[in-house]
Amino acid sequence: MNDRLTVRQATVFEDVAAVLGPKNPQSSVCFCLSYRIGSKENQALKGPERGERVRELCAQTPPPGVLAYLGDVPVGWAAIHPRADTSFARNLKIPHLEDGAWSLWCLRVRAGYRRRGVTTALIEGAVEHARTLEAPSIEAYPVDNGESRVDPTMAYVGTVGMFAAAGFEMASPTTSVINGFERVIMTHR
């Protein structure tokens, strides 16, 4: 097996489901839809309907994000899309900074593949993906956790340190809080 880490557009639903989907197909998991679609639709979708909605998004241009692969195995996910087409466009706690910006809001690495550079590759791959589609800037909304540990269930937003290491700069505070940590807006230009 080729153990090279690569990042590709999330166009293969089965690969997205391998990273984000539930073990039981009848379960209602986030499937990274909460910020991607309107809250009314998000709350209405249950069980397998959620996966089918993601399948539809994978067939659209641009797709809903990028996937990291170790060889041919999907090992990580990053949600990235034009902010105007996400709930961040209407979010009162995360201020609007720039027209045309893309939002990078979720990072997930499968168990067994953590601490191998997957998150770094996902952030870099998401930025590259947005750039190829002419994004003027990319925004991320990580927690400002300092040196404190972030609960793994809330770590999907990332941390200031990981985005700073990938070339993002602090842009604005927010009034959004996750797991007791304030979120900030960081941008990559």
pTM of the model: 0.95
Q: Tens digits of per-residue pLDDT, 67-101?
A: 999 999 999 999 999 999 999 999 999 999 999 99
pLDDT at residue 131, as a whole number: 97
Q: Tens digits of per-residue pLDDT, 151-169?
A: 988 999 999 999 999 999 9
Q: Tens digits of per-residue pLDDT, 100-124?
A: 999 999 999 999 999 899 999 999 9
Q: How far apart are CA 16 and CA 68, in angstroms?
A: 10
Q: How far apart are CA 64 and CA 185, in angstroms?
A: 20
Q: Which domains does the chain have, with CATH numbers?
A: 5-188 (3.40.630.30)
Extended beta strands in 73-125, E state: 73-82, 102-109
CB proximity list for 82: less than 8 A, separation 6 or greater = 62, 100, 101, 102, 103, 135
Tell me what percent of the residues of the chain surpass a pLDDT of 90.
Answer: 93
